[in-house]
C-alpha cells in the first residue's frame, strides 16, 4: 500500500459522526475519499466551503469549486459557500471539531512546524496558525522521516513553528502517538512496523502505552 494511503486510512478513524472537520493541504485532502457513507460529517475548507465531497470525476470538474490547496472538489447536498472572513470566524470561534493537518516537523511536546518548506518560496502560513489554536482537536499526518532519512519527530522543531503544544495526535507511516500532560505516548504501531524501528527513527523521547496496539 502507498505510504500516504496508509496514513490516510488510519487518520480517517479519527473522524466521528456529526463532526465539522477541516482538512489541511497535502496528505489531509485525500481524506475526502476515505469517509464511509455511514458517517455524517461536514468537511470545511478555509477558502469558504462547508460540505466538501469526494474528488470529482472528469465529468464533475467545476473550476469554481476548489479547496484550500486549489484542487477541484465536489460539494455535498446542503453545502454552504461563504467568504474567507466567515470561514475564519468559524475556526476562531471554536466551531471546528477536528483539524487534520500535514506536518514538516512535530516535537515531543506537541509543537508543530508545517508552513515553511526549506528551499521553497512560500507565500505565507495560510490558515494553519488559526487552525491549531481554534480547532478542538488537532491531528497531524506526515511521513516519519524526510527524504534524507532524518526523523521528522523531533526533540525540538528546527523549522519555524506554526504553534506550541498544539498537537493532540500524530499519525505517521510507522506509528500513532498521543500527546498527554505527561508527554508523548506511543499508542499504535502501523502494520509492518516494529517498536525497534520506531525508536531508531524517532528523535523525540516518548513512552510506550501499556495498551500498545500492534496492527497485523
Sheet of 112-113, strand order = 112-113, 105-107, 153-154
Q: Count of alpha carbons within 13 Å of 192, Cβ hemisphere only?
A: 6
Query: Can you read off the three cell numbers belonging to residue 16?
Result: 466521528
Q: Distances from the Cα of 159 to the Cαs of 5, 13, 72, 170, in angstroms?
A: 26, 29, 30, 17
* Cα distances (angstroms) measured from residue 57 to each of 49, 61, 66, 161: 19, 6, 14, 37
Is 188 catalytic? The answer is: no
From 46, 105, 108, 188, the catalytic residue: 46
Q: What are phi and psi of 60, to 5 degrees?
A: -95, -5
DSSP bridge pairs for 189:
175, 214
Q: Say whether 95 sits in a helix, a strand or coil.
A: coil
Catalytic positions, written as ranges: 46
Amino acid at each position: 500500500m502507498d505510504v500516504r494511503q496508509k496514513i490516510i486510512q488510519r487518520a480517517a478513524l479519527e473522524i466521528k459522526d456529526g463532526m465539522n472537520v477541516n482538512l489541511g493541504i497535502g496528505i489531509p485532502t485525500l481524506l475526502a475519499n476515505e469517509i464511509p457513507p455511514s458517517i455524517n460529517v461536514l468537511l470545511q475548507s478555509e477558502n469558504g466551503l462547508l460540505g466538501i465531497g469526494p474528488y470529482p470525476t472528469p465529468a464533475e470538474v467545476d473550476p469554481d469549486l476548489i479547496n484550500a490547496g486549489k484542487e477541484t472538489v465536489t460539494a455535498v447536498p446542503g453545502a454552504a459557500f461563504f467568504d474567507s472572513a466567515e470561514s475564519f470566524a468559524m475556526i476562531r470561534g471554536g466551531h471546528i471539531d477536528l483539524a487534520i493537518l500535514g506536518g514538516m516537523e512535530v516535537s515531543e511536546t506537541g509543537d508543530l512546524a508545517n508552513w515553511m518548506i526549506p528551499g521553497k518560496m512560500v507565500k505565507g502560513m495560510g490558515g494553519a496558525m488559526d487552525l491549531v489554536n481554534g480547532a478542538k482537536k488537532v491531528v497531524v499526518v506526515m511521513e516519519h522521516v524526510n527524504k534524507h532519512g532524518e526523523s521528522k519527530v523531533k526533540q525540538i522543531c528546527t523549522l519555524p513553528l506554526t504553534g506550541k503544544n498544539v498537537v493532540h495526535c500524530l499519525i505517521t507511516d510507522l506509528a500513532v502517538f498521543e500527546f498527554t500532560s505527561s508527554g508523548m505516548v506511543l499508542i499504535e504501531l502501523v502494520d509492518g512496523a516494529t517498536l525497534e524501528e520506531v525508536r531508531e527513527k524517532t528523535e523525540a523521547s516518548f513512552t510506550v502505552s501499556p495498551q500498545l496496539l500492534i496492527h497485523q
